[in-house]
Amino acid sequence: MLFVCFTAKTSVSTANVQLIYHSVLSELLHDKRRKFTFSETAYFWRWWKEQRPTTRATFRTLVQEGRVEFAGGGWVHNDEATPDYLHIIDQYTWGLRKLNDTLGPCGKPKAAWQIDTYGHTREQVSLLAQMGYDGLFIGRVDHKQREAMIEEDRMEFMWRGSDVLGKMSDIMTHTLFNLYNAPDGFCFDFLCNDEPIIDDPDNKVYNADKRVNDFISQIERQAKYYDHDNIMVTMGGDFTYQSAANWFMNMDKLINHVNTHPANLSDINIFYSTPSCYLKAIYLYGRRDKAMYTEKDDQLPYGSDSMTYWTGYYSSRPSLKYFARRAHVFLQVVKQLTVIARLGDSYELHLLRHAVSLVLHHDAITG
């Protein structure tokens, strides 16, 4: 499974998400086997507004064909610890409405995507389950929790968001193996220094066999921790795919050589996929119907190691958190007044929705 997720990093000050959309769109048109997954609607909307009708039509076609997919689909990838319920619901409503208005029913995300937040809450889980997502993907898990998950074979589990709602708040949850990054040594981006796949046998630096063996080893190591034959391998990272050609060229080679490798025939088959396709595959396997561990707690606080606990953001930048709450209150007032006055949406109301939702980003309201 190959996809990318966007998250802000100050070390990548020249990153340009607009380039990612243009670059990926161009590469998808070269080969119908290729697929790609986007996440936050805020980035998509900024790009979409500037596109010509022909580009929009092409993008819609890719969505209808299942070759472009949105995961999550909220306006942003929201923090889970500091916002309140209504604020989270509003930002999802705004993001999903934009996707529906621009892409139609085929643009509706089937997979919830909370892969970079600094811990997870039952309340978020409950909301996502009630929104109708087929499954939830998470990335950042406390280091001790991850060790226990690996030892106890529960990298995938059923998460119950509410004791009161019971099964209505259950959602199948998948813990990503590599956070959301490519396996070690297989980042084919100009932001990385990993070697490309060179499969010309006449080239002195031919390395296809070695690279294939390394990749198969990575898959086999990961497969031990999931109780079925479908393994999700993420291929991306923060602000990657600004030059998508290098990624797809190398991934095409990787897919071809792994699937035809003499020592691998019939054992491993890799291909481009998406989060919703993965969920469909494991449901066909019967994973949801089998006895699974049920999580009923929060996954907070998040500790990336024994000396690093991500708890300061609960109270840091209090003024920002205060203004985020106040702005959301004003948004509720304005929405109700426009309904009472039968004014409908306005440009100013749209701007307020954008700003109030954007501040919920896990790298914004957290400070």
For the chain, which residues make up each domain, given as ranges?
A: 17-312, 318-358
Contact 97, 341 (CB under 8 A): no
Contact 154, 145 (CB under 8 A): no
The CATH number given to 17-312 is 3.20.110.10
Other Cβ atoms within 10 Å of 2 Cβ, number: 23
Per-residue tens of pLDDT for the chain, all 367 residues = 443 333 334 344 466 899 999 999 999 999 999 999 999 999 999 999 999 999 999 999 999 999 999 999 999 999 999 999 999 999 999 999 999 999 999 999 999 999 999 999 999 999 999 999 999 999 999 999 999 999 998 999 999 999 999 999 999 999 999 999 999 999 999 889 899 999 999 999 999 999 999 999 999 999 999 988 899 999 998 899 999 999 999 999 999 999 987 766 668 899 999 999 999 999 887 766 566 889 999 999 999 999 999 999 999 999 999 999 999 999 999 999 999 999 888 899 999 999 999 999 999 999 8
Dist. CA 352–CA 334, nearest whole Å: 9
Helices (H), the chain: 17-28, 41-48, 53-64, 85-103, 122-131, 143-151, 208-223, 244-259, 275-284, 318-340, 347-358
Residues 6+ positions from 4 with CB-CB distance below 8 Å: 20, 24, 36, 37, 38, 235, 236, 237, 240, 241
* DSSP secondary structure, 163-188, as one string: TTTGGGGEEEEEE-TTTTSPPTT---
Q: Is 229 a catalytic residue?
A: no
Q: Which two tokens stand for residue 159?
A: 């998460």
The residue from 79, 90, 116, 142 that is catalytic is: 116
Other Cβ atoms within 10 Å of 254 Cβ, number: 21
